[in-house]
Amino acid sequence: GPIKNKPLVLPDGTLLSGSSREAERWTVHFERSPDGGRSWEEVEPPPAPGIDAIQPSLLTHGGGRLQAVGRSRQGRLFSTWSEDAGLTWSPLELLEVPNPNSGTDAVSLADGRHLLVYNPTTAPAAEWGGPRTPLSLAVSGDGRQWRRVVDLETQPGEYSYPAIIQAADGLVHVTYTWRRQRIRHRVVDPACLPAGEASAFHVKQTSAAGVPPQEE
């Protein structure tokens, strides 16, 4: 089953989970179930020497094309692609998106864009313990180029292990650990995402949707 992030239901009803193992090496794999979870098949991307990765999030690009992105020990997010609805995957590669070895999540929006929630920092020597503030949103049209657009948290502390979904009404919901004390809930209208960079738009002053943030 899934490790941290949500599974995906494909158009044919297949349940696809992004999963991973944490041993001496961190490795990503995927688990497919064509029968509602009664049986499972495990699929692994080809080996990618030098990349240790876990906790993949699944994105859809149409026509059976899928992408997984997530956390790595190499200071950047990893990515892998499938052209056949998750039956096979490409070797892992690193995106030009910083990652301090912290959890991320991502979602494909109804309008075709993709939204990522992450800590846009890099850990010293890419080890655990890199800064987990700020916590931000980035948007992409193709899954390769990501633009940071909203800072959900900017204060000192740890804001981590996020989850993100888009509800039936189009609003995006983000939850995350707030300083390892509470769970915070933010609501974002993707139609109102700013065109500029995140430095000009902080939800601390106003929510991304113009709606007061919903908290614990």
Q: Is residue 15 part of a domain?
A: no
Q: Is residue 68 part of a domain?
A: no
Predicted local confidence at residue 195, as pLDDT? 72
Q: Is residue 5 part of a domain?
A: no
- Tell me which residue range forms the domain holding 178: 100-216
Query: Looking at this protein, which amino acid is placed at residue 171?
Result: L
25-38 burial: b if 16+ Cβ within 10 Å, else e: ebbbbbbbbeeeee
Q: Is residue 163 part of a domain?
A: yes
Predicted local confidence at residue 157, as pLDDT? 92
Q: Is residue 22 part of a domain?
A: no
- pLDDT single digits (tens) 4-60: 999 999 999 999 999 999 998 999 999 999 999 999 999 999 999 999 999 999 999
Predicted local confidence at residue 158, as pLDDT? 94
Number of independent structural domains in the chain: 1
Q: Is the pLDDT of residue 200 over 60?
A: no
CA angle 126, 130, 134 (to 5 degrees): 130
- The answer to pTM > 0.75 is yes
Please tell me the distance from the alpha carbon of residue 152 to that of residue 185, in angstroms, as a whole number. 10
CA distances from 149 to 18, 106, 132, 197, 201 (A): 26, 14, 17, 5, 7
Predicted local confidence at residue 208, as pLDDT? 38
Q: Which two tokens stand for residue 156?
A: 């000192």
Q: Is residue 52 part of a domain?
A: no
Instruction: Tell me the helices (H) and strands (E) count for the chain, helix number first.
Output: 0, 15
Report the SS3 class of residue 192.
helix
Q: Which two tokens stand for residue 158?
A: 């740890």
Q: Is residue 120 part of a domain?
A: yes
Please tell me the distance from the alpha carbon of residue 127 to that of residue 32, in angstroms, as a whole number. 31
Q: Is the pLDDT of residue 203 over 50?
A: no
- pLDDT single digits (tens) 133-181: 999 999 999 999 999 999 999 999 999 999 999 999 999 999 999 999 9
Report the half-sphere exposure of 32 (CA within 13 A, side-chain side). Answer: 15
Predicted local confidence at residue 128, as pLDDT? 57
